[in-house]
Structure 1
Amino acid sequence: MDGIETDIPGAPHDHDACVSAALETAAELCRRQGSRLTPVRRQVLEIVWESHRPVKAYDVLARLSDHGRAAKPPTVYRALGFLIDQGLIHRIEGLNAFIGCARPNDAHTGYFLICERCRAVTEMASPRLETLLGQEAAGLGFTVKAQTVEIFGLCAACGGGR
């Protein structure tokens, strides 16, 4: 589709390299922004990136415990909040979950295609759609500061087709 980029979960790739690249990008981004990617924040980011699927905060807490770190819910929520603020992860409101951001160095609007059956999430970037929504809002006298769009349906693997 012209002007639309997607990150499709499950597409063939070297997952270890993918996670490693996400962690390296996060460390560099935090260094440039003067923020600190603490060991807990780094581990939470790694857990979010483990499967390319949305992860809930309490699942992150459980995985931290599996890794031998006795964390409390506020610790996890603070780490997730930091990662969102840095643009390293996205919150998927409709699932009350979090997913890694594949393009943290690029300011972009989050358009998420969420499969109602398998819960796979695909992040889509569409400058045309962003512009159109901004123009429509401006026509109503509204200034857009941020956009997140969650679209529910079926992915190709679950019968959504193409």
Structure 2
Amino acid sequence: MDERLAAAASDCAARQLRFTDLRRDILALILQVDRPVTAYQLLEQLQQTRAKAAPPTVYRALEFLLEQHLIHRIERLNAFIACAESGMHMHPVQFLICLRCKAVTEMDDHTISDVVRRAAEAHHFRAEFSTVEVEGLCADCVLARAP
């Protein structure tokens, strides 16, 4: 985790962006968990060390982290997860969301991205970016349900 935070700080500095302590703390909280986390869950955690933290503070930090491609928003869950790829760049992404345990796996499958791009082009639409969210059961939950 320290490696990821240091890389984020370095990337922000290289772009002359302010990677404030608050932004660092929010990213650290997201990196600590292995599940998507909501803004209010982050706020609860943050208030343990910053009693005066308020929702707008968290949302502004999340907006910055999203804009810098350090995190992703899982629309279906209204939650956030750290980007699995290093560096601050936008990339097509697919998420596998477990309906049972809420685990999320990030993929960057170019085959899927290409299919989406070609389908968009067939409709005379130029896709700039795509996110695909697929719901189902992860391997552990499938095994747990097996007879």
TM-score over 0.5 for the pair: yes
Match of 2:37 among 55, 59, 63: 55
Alignment of 1:64-103 (within 5 A): 64-103=46-85
The SS at the match of 1:159 is: helix
Q: Which protein, 1 or 2, shows the higher relative CO under an 8 Å CA cutoff with sep ≥ 6?
A: 1
Amino acid aligned to 1:134: R
| Partners of 2:37 and 2:96 in 1: CA distance | 16
Q: Could you say which residue in structure 1 is the equivalent of 2:23?
A: 41
TM-score norm. by structure 2 comes to 0.92
Q: Is 1:110 paired with 2:88?
A: no
Percent of residue pairs identical: 44
Q: Which runs of 5+ in 2 are unaligned?
A: none
Alignment of 1:119-158 (within 5 A): 119-158=102-141
User: How far is the alpha carbon of 1:69 from its aligned partner?
Assistant: 4.2
Structure 1 unmatched ranges of 5 or more = 1-18
User: Where does residue 32 of structure 1 map in the other structure?
Assistant: 14
Rounded to whole Å, the distance in 1 between the matches of 2:26 and 2:40 is 11
Q: Distance in 1 between matches of 2:108 and 2:129?
A: 14
3-state SS, counterpart of residue 47 of structure 2: helix
Alpha-carbon RMSD across the aligned residues, in angstroms, is: 1.4
User: Cα offset for 1:67?
Assistant: 2.1
**Residues 37, 80 of structure 2: 8 Å contact kept:** yes
Are 1:115 and 1:155, in contact at CA under 8 Å, matched by a contact in 2?
A: yes
Provide the TM-score with structure 1 as the length reference.
0.84
Q: Deviations over 1:87-141 (max 9, x none)?
A: 0000001000000012142531120000000000000111121112101110110
Distance in 2 (alpha carbons) for counterparts of 1:68 and 1:109 = 35
Q: Distance in 1 between matches of 2:48 and 2:92?
A: 34
